Amino acid sequence: MKRFMKQIGAVLCFATLTVSIAGCGAEEESEIQEEEAAEQSIERIRMASWSQPITEQANIYLAEEKGWFDDVGIDFEYIPGAGGGDAIRNIIAGNADIAFANVEAVLLALEQGEKLRVIYNIYPENVFNLISLKESNITSMEDLRGQDVGIYSRSSGTYQNLLVLLHQANMTEEDVNLIETGVLNFGPLMNKQVVATAATDTGLHDAQRNELGEVDVIEVKDVLNTPADVFVVTEETYQERQEELIRFLQVYRDSVAYTMEHPTEAAEVAVTAAIDGQDVDRNVEIINIRNETSTNEEIAEKGLGWLNVDILQEVEETYYELGLLSERVNIETITTNELVEQLN
């Protein structure tokens, strides 16, 4: 009996030791795997923007503050710029990995032979418009013949989108007197130096906050709904870094969805993160405007970020007809929803 008990004890002792060793081994292996995964998964993503950090992009700063980029192994860096062309040049030069840029800048880069991929639709709605004071009675483009019309500059989206409006009315820039007024273009409008000015929705909002008065608005999206901004990468980055790009896009998309539900929280983050974010109330208003331009009926069905290739082809054809492109660049061949389709 004693011998039997000793045998049982030995078996139990051995079993306990085996389980302990196995447990320790599994735990150590798990820790090693986690460390290796962490080392392998931390990837730097540099986003070249068309602007300085501004309130419109509050969802990005919110994602940074909440650590959402860190959570998916993204070491995020915001690289400011001065226009969509600047953002595109940064990814071509290797100074950034992904560009936050307007479609017009993409078309011009493609015309120069650059190999790019459009991978996400940031703002599917065209944000440009033409503003005139109600008292001027400008109700159609035809009313602008021979009149002074303000634009930021000839290298800006205000100029390119004004050409679209003129083209739709069978007019050209020769039919009006274009005046480059700079970004403070509502001053000349209020001072009657121009009869109308090309602007953006957020620019109009700020001007109305500063007592612009009653206005008539002609929206470019009613003529050509060019996506205001998209995410663009080089073909090389697209082929070699899809896994990291998906992680980045997932955080961006999640942050947009969260900001739609919590605009005030994003507005408070923008106070310290954005160069124009000192007024929380204004921040909320600007964020709500951008939330509206981040979606439409198709996006509601397909999901945030979905790219409509037919619209992009229409934009390219329009710019070719306007003479802004000397040749067709076949934007449909470099536009893909493959990454968007993999987002949750």
CA pair distance 282, 315, nearest whole angstrom: 32
The secondary structure of the chain in percent helix, strand, coil, rounded to multiples of 5, reads 55, 15, 30
- Total structural domains in the chain? 2
Residue with tokens 């620019």: 203
DSSP β-bridge partners for residue 150: 179, 197
Query: Nearest 5°: CA angle at 177, between 175 and 181?
Result: 145
Last residue of a domain, one of 206, 222, 238: 222
Burial of 138 (0-12, 13-18, 19+ CB in 10 A): buried
For residue 2, tell me if it sits in a domain. Answer: no
Containing H/E element for 327?
Answer: none
- Amino acid identity of residue 84, one-letter, is G
Same domain, 290 and 201: no
| Predicted confidence (pLDDT) at residue 326 exceeds the cutoff of 90 | yes
Q: In what order do the strands lie in the sheet with 196-200?
A: 177-180, 148-151, 196-200, 128-133, 215-219
Q: How far apart are CA 316 and CA 326, in angstroms?
A: 11
| Percent of the chain whose predicted confidence (pLDDT) is above 90 | 80
Q: What is the pLDDT of residue 17?
A: 42
302 in the same domain as 153? no
174, 196, 222 - which closes a domain: 222
Domain closes at, from 196, 222, 248 = 222
For residue 33, the model assigns a pLDDT of: 46
Residues with Cβ < 8 Å from 113, sequence gap 6 or more?
none
Let me know whether 318 and 251 are in one domain. yes
27 within a domain of the structure (yes/no): no
Please tell me the least confidently modeled range out of 20-24, 134-138, 340-344.
Answer: 20-24
User: Are 167 and 304 found together in one domain?
Assistant: no
Region class of 275: left (phi > 0), else alpha (psi between -120 and 50), else beta: alpha
175: domain range?
128-222
32 is a domain residue: no
Q: What is the mean pLDDT of the chain?
A: 90
In a domain, 188, yes or no: yes
Looking only at the bridges linking them, the beta strands covering 177-180 and 148-151 are: parallel
Same domain, 179 and 301: no
CB 233 within 8 A of CB 116: yes
**Mean pLDDT, residues 210-230 taken together:** 94
Domain assignment present for residue 4? The answer is no
Query: Do residues 254 and 300 both lie within one domain?
Result: yes
CATH number at residue 70: 3.40.190.10
Residue 47 shares a structural domain with residue 69: yes
Q: Looking at the domain assignment, is residue 85 inside a domain?
A: yes
pLDDT on residue 156: 78
Q: Do 193 and 166 reside in the same domain of the chain?
A: yes
CA-based nearest residue to 172, from 185, 189, 159: 159
Sign of torsion over alpha carbons 316, 317, 318, 322: positive
Say how far apart CA 269 and CA 272 lie, in whole Å: 6
305: DSSP letter: B
Q: Do 233 and 114 belong to one domain?
A: yes
What is residue 139's three-state secondary structure? Answer: coil
Could you tell me the pLDDT band of residue 11, with boundaries at 50, 70 and 90? very low
Amino acid at 292: E
Do 213 and 333 fall into the same domain? no
pLDDT at residue 39 in the model: 52
14 within domain boundaries: no
Strand-pairing partners, residue 76, are 45
Query: Phi and psi dihedrals of 150, rounded to 5?
Result: -90, 145
Q: Are residues 118 and 250 in the same domain?
A: yes
Helices in 42-135 by DSSP H: which ranges?
58-65, 68-71, 84-92, 103-111
Query: 117-175: per-residue pLDDT in tens?
Result: 999 999 999 999 999 999 999 999 999 999 999 998 887 788 889 999 999 999 999 99
Residue 21 lies in a domain: no
Instruction: Examine the domain organization and report whether 172 and 273 are in the same domain.
Output: no
Once rounded to an integer, what is the mean pLDDT over residues 282-310? 97
